[in-house]
Structure 1
Amino acid sequence: MLKKLTLTAMVSAALLSHSVFAQDLTVGFSQIGSESGWRAAETSVAKSEAEKRGITLKISDAQQKQENQIKAVRSFIAQGVDAIFIAQVVQTGWGPVLEEAKDNDIPVFLLDRGIDVQDDSLYMTAVMADNVLEGELAAKWLINKVGGKPCNVVELQGTVGASVAIDRKKGFQDAISSASNLKIIRTQSGEFTRSKGKEVMESFIKAEDNGKNICAVFAHNDDMAIGAIQSIKEAGLKPGSDIYIVSIDGVPDIFKAMMAGESNATVELTPNMAGPAYDALIKYKEDGTVPPKHIKTESKLFEPDSAKEQLALKKDMGY
């Protein structure tokens, strides 16, 4: 009994020490913006995960402009934060400002997206999903759905130059390259927004015999898919049956669309990118442990049969 009590006391002391240490940490987070339901959830989860650990979090909304992010990072450096988190708009153009962070001994953590730099020591780790795998999972679902029947696909891409858009496109294209019955007939950026997804889908429908030549939509995120669904309905077609819908993120509205029979599949992207980053930061500050260069989160594909359950789970997560 004495040993058990001693062990319990040791564990409690360790947790308390961990919490007290974390309370001394301040993190600056340069967020892309709130262009989608998923992005808003990522911000919300980042706040709640910081509160759990007693970390002070400062968030700067870039409104989808890289120049705003660079200004925010420089501001965080000037403030002397303990770490900088970045969910970056695009993957290039980060070298100079990250050099500044490194010169000031401020570790940088990337959330959700990768960057293209010659020196990868400019950031400590990238917490992100396997975005190539996400595109691949979407493609494999569609291949199985249509069987061997011909299927013309239109693609709603994410922000031009964003690593996540590049990778999701690659995963999808590589996977359907072995399925001669599937063909991407039109592809254009919908900028990860619902309104732009709707606008681009309208142009696709007009160009393809009022949508009759379109078998499926592959959207790089759910918000663009929701916009596409609206356009399909306005064209007098039935999304989910006349035109299949497969997308990525797993936000509440796509599960609602599934329950209404208007969407077919989504690949979930967890919004909790900050939690693993906080834990890696705390460990690094405590004893110098350097995290792996990439911390991968899990990606799962969901269909309508699990939509109700997933919708309830999303609400619990703060969506």
Structure 2
Amino acid sequence: MTKTLFSIALCGLLAISHGVQALTIGFSQVGSESGWRTTFSESVKAEAIKRGIDLKFSDAQQKQENQIKAIRSFIAQRVDAIIVAPVVETGWKPVFMEAKRARIPIVILDRNVALNNDSLYLTRIAPDFVLEGVKAATWLADETKGNCAIVELQGTVGSSAALGRMEGFNKIIAQHNNMRIVRSQTAEFTRAKGKEVMESLLKAEGGGSDICALWAHNDEMALGAIQAIKEAGLKPGSDILVVSVDAVDDIFPAIKAGDANVTVELSPHLGGPAFDVIEAYLKGKRDFEKWVVMGGSVFDKNNYEEEYNKRLAEQ
């Protein structure tokens, strides 16, 4: 066991030994489709151990029906609270109502849900996906002086991350007459699909020589697409600019090598804020903001190095 994990585990044991009642919290996660998602899950688990929380973790493997099943299982187990990182926006009302009837509070992390009754959850802790799209498109517009033919790799269809990033990006490029998306297709937020879909987009665009930039809704798809661009005989980062979101560890070597140009940071450390809200609720607080916005930096060749070195030092 590493020193860090030992310290975290010791905190949990001390809480139990001092008679502190451990909370039981259910966490329904989308899956493990990306490095960012895995880091997100591990961060929540580590924070739970640190606080002596009994975390019931469920990996939905990208399927909403698995998440609904997990939430119903948490309700049956009479957990103290439920955390949900939803696959898609719609279809949550019935199971959220079941949790409310059972007096079990819900906190939403990351992607959003479409509900006309916000009393069904305490709060959502997440970035502004629209703003992420705005930041990515603003960088690209500045870099290309508003003249760019773009191919887009979308995230999971129906997810708030994909919808928001698309909305923000499109809002900016609409302000430039010579910026347009010429091809767009989902690659489901995964590296393998990013490579596969980029290969087909390059073929559809005559080999890719007329493509100015790739706009990927996350780094994993961008990293897969970079492979496809190289295999097509083009230079990612110069022949085709690469713009994405998340700032996962793997994107920084790509920026250093010149294969990727910019990434918009999405913090995976959402567990602490979520547990803070739940603990406050269980102590009697009832007035919560319905959206706690997590910020994020924009990293390119001019400023990535400090962040990259910091992460290397932490490994």
For the pair 1:234 / 2:228, whether they are aligned, the reply is: no
The 10-residue stretch of structure 1 (66-75 or 49-58) with the greater mean CA deviation from structure 2 = 49-58
For the pair 1:186 / 2:183, whether they are aligned, the reply is: yes
User: Partner of 2:134 in structure 1?
Assistant: 136
Deviation of 1:305 after TM superposition, in Å, equals 3.1
Q: Please, what is the CA RMSD of the aligned residues?
A: 1.8
User: Partner of 1:127 in structure 2?
Assistant: 125
C-alpha distance in structure 2 between counterparts of 1:137 and 1:22, whole Å = 44
C-alpha distance in structure 1 between counterparts of 2:235 and 2:277, whole Å = 46
Evaluate the alpha carbon distance shift between residue 71 and residue 316 of structure 1 in structure 2; reply closer, same or farther with a 3 A threshold: farther
User: What letter matches 1:257 in structure 2?
Assistant: A
User: Partner of 1:24 in structure 2?
Assistant: 22
* Structure 1 unaligned residues grouped into runs of 5+: 1-15
For the pair 1:197 / 2:194, whether they are aligned, the reply is: yes
Of 241, 259, 262, the match for 1:262: 259
Deviation of 1:218 after TM superposition, in Å, equals 0.6
Deviation of 1:313 after TM superposition, in Å, equals 3.3
Aligned pairs for 1:272-291 (under 5 A) are 272-291=269-288
Evaluate the alpha carbon distance shift between residue 115 and residue 50 of structure 1 in structure 2; reply closer, same or farther with a 3 A threshold: same
> TM (normalized to structure 1)?
0.90
Give the secondary structure class of the aligned counterpart of 1:299. coil
* Structure 2 unaligned residues grouped into runs of 5+: 1-13
- Identity of aligned pairs, percent? 54
The 10-residue stretch of structure 1 (60-69 or 283-292) with the greater mean CA deviation from structure 2 = 283-292
C-alpha distance in structure 2 between counterparts of 1:118 and 1:274, whole Å = 26
Give the secondary structure class of the aligned counterpart of 2:265. strand
Deviation of 1:312 after TM superposition, in Å, equals 3.6
Give the secondary structure class of the aligned counterpart of 1:209. coil
User: Partner of 1:37 in structure 2?
Assistant: 35
CA contact (8 A) 1:128 1:297 kept: yes
C-alpha distance in structure 1 between counterparts of 2:165 and 2:20, whole Å = 35
Deviation of 1:308 after TM superposition, in Å, equals 3.3
User: What letter matches 2:207 in structure 1?
Assistant: N
Give the secondary structure class of the aligned counterpart of 2:260. coil
Deviation of 1:316 after TM superposition, in Å, equals 6.1
For the pair 1:106 / 2:92, whether they are aligned, the reply is: no
Deviation of 1:275 after TM superposition, in Å, equals 1.2
Deviation of 1:82 after TM superposition, in Å, equals 0.6
Deviation of 1:317 after TM superposition, in Å, equals 6.5
Of 112, 115, 118, the match for 2:116: 118
Aligned pairs for 1:8-87 (under 5 A) are 23-87=21-85
Aligned length: 301
> TM (normalized to structure 2)?
0.92
User: Partner of 2:240 in structure 1?
Assistant: 243
Deviation of 1:23 after TM superposition, in Å, equals 4.8
C-alpha distance in structure 1 between counterparts of 2:304 and 2:80, whole Å = 40
Deviation of 1:315 after TM superposition, in Å, equals 5.0
C-alpha distance in structure 2 between counterparts of 1:88 and 1:315, whole Å = 31
Of 214, 217, 222, the match for 1:220: 217
Give the secondary structure class of the aligned counterpart of 2:157. coil
For residues 85-132 of structure 1, the C-alpha deviation after alignment (integer angstroms, 9 at most, x for no partner) is 011110000011111000000001100011011211111100000110
Deviation of 1:21 after TM superposition, in Å, equals 9.0
Deviation of 1:213 after TM superposition, in Å, equals 1.4
Deviation of 1:300 after TM superposition, in Å, equals 1.4
Give the secondary structure class of the aligned counterpart of 2:293. strand
For residues 119-168 of structure 1, the C-alpha deviation after alignment (integer angstroms, 9 at most, x for no partner) is 111111000001100000000000010114x3100111100000111000
CA contact (8 A) 1:92 1:115 kept: yes
Give the secondary structure class of the aligned counterpart of 1:168. helix
User: Partner of 1:92 in structure 2?
Assistant: 90
Give the secondary structure class of the aligned counterpart of 2:297. strand
Evaluate the alpha carbon distance shift between residue 38 and residue 20 of structure 1 in structure 2; reply closer, same or farther with a 3 A threshold: farther
Evaluate the alpha carbon distance shift between residue 273 and residue 20 of structure 1 in structure 2; reply closer, same or farther with a 3 A threshold: farther
CA contact (8 A) 1:60 1:72 kept: yes
C-alpha distance in structure 1 between counterparts of 2:107 and 2:18, whole Å = 22
Evaluate the alpha carbon distance shift between residue 273 and residue 80 of structure 1 in structure 2; reply closer, same or farther with a 3 A threshold: same
